[in-house]
Amino acid sequence: MAEPLLKITNLHAEIAEDGTEILRGLDLELNEGEIHAIMGPNGSGKSTLSKVISGHPAYEVTDGEILFRGESVLDMQPDERARAGIFLAFQYPVEIPGVSVANFMRTAINAKRGEEVDIFDFQEELESRMEMLEMDPAFALRSVNEGFSGGEKKRNEILQLAMLQPELAVMDETDSGLDIDALRIVTAGINRIKEQKKDMAVLLITHYQRMLNYITPDKVHVMVEGRIIRTGGPELALELEERGYDWIREEMAGVA
């Protein structure tokens, strides 16, 4: 049996500044090509998990392991993890004034591939990806996320995903702040990318079932108090939508 693409074992992590523990013994395995969703109440550590996987310096791993393709990433810098094939779509994408979307993308691709990409090949690829995502080509000339609406910022994240073609895409509450139309466009983009790169694994972090109406996960994990405490199929997300998280907490209290 092939080893998991991502294997997280007994992961503990805290806020580096004050030592507050957020992740408390989290275990997770994700295979090539799979789509997993992580759901949970506010403060359960979902976004922290995404940042720890990508190597955000605001968090410190105090115990456990993160293996990507069988190798530990804990000593790797964020850019090294990105070049290895780990992509993070931010919940709140930052603005980069003065840097166009096109220039940003070309710099990122050059770094990932370790060589200078021909400008004409890059332009052709960028235009093809933007057409696939139904994006106006003029979008590429704008400064990264500057003056973008919430939906435009998330579509820009999906464009980056399409161009970089990672092995693992971690989507941190990509549905946050999107209206129904924007959500439909963004999720359609993710599905198109997944169709083209079938071996790409996707870790969706979300509060709500609504995103899973458009992207069907292989597994749904429930995260509470820094740990994954239940795993099931897509039907688990529907149960959470109907019943909320109180019943999960009550079961945890009963076990304790």
Other beta carbons within 10 angstroms of residue 185's beta carbon come to 18
- Closest by Cα among 127, 89, 94, 95 to 211: 89
Which pLDDT value is given to residue 252? 67
Q: Which residue bears the tokens 């069988």? A: 70
DSSP state of 12: E
Q: Please give the pLDDT value at position 185.
A: 86
| Confidence at residue 135, expressed as pLDDT on a 0 to 100 scale | 85
| pLDDT tens digits for range 243-254 | 888 777 777 665
Q: For residue 177, what pLDDT is reported? A: 78
pTM of this structure: 0.91
Say how far apart CA 154 and CA 110 lie, in whole Å.
Answer: 22
Taking alpha carbons only, the member of 7, 162, 149 closest to residue 70 is 7
Q: How far is CA 163 from CA 6, 106, 135, 140, in A?
A: 22, 9, 14, 13
Say how far apart CA 108 and CA 117 lie, in whole Å: 10
- CA-based torsion, 93, 98, 101, 103: positive or negative: negative
* Residue 255: predicted pLDDT: 52
Note down pLDDT in tens along the chain; length 256 residues.
679 999 999 999 999 999 999 999 999 999 999 999 999 988 899 999 999 999 999 999 999 999 999 999 999 999 999 999 999 998 888 889 999 999 999 999 998 888 899 999 999 999 999 888 888 899 999 999 998 888 888 888 999 999 999 999 999 988 887 888 888 888 999 999 999 999 999 999 998 888 999 999 999 999 999 999 999 999 999 888 888 887 777 776 655 4
| All structural domains of the chain | 6-95+169-255 (3.40.50.300)
Which residue type, as a one-letter code, is found at position 115? E
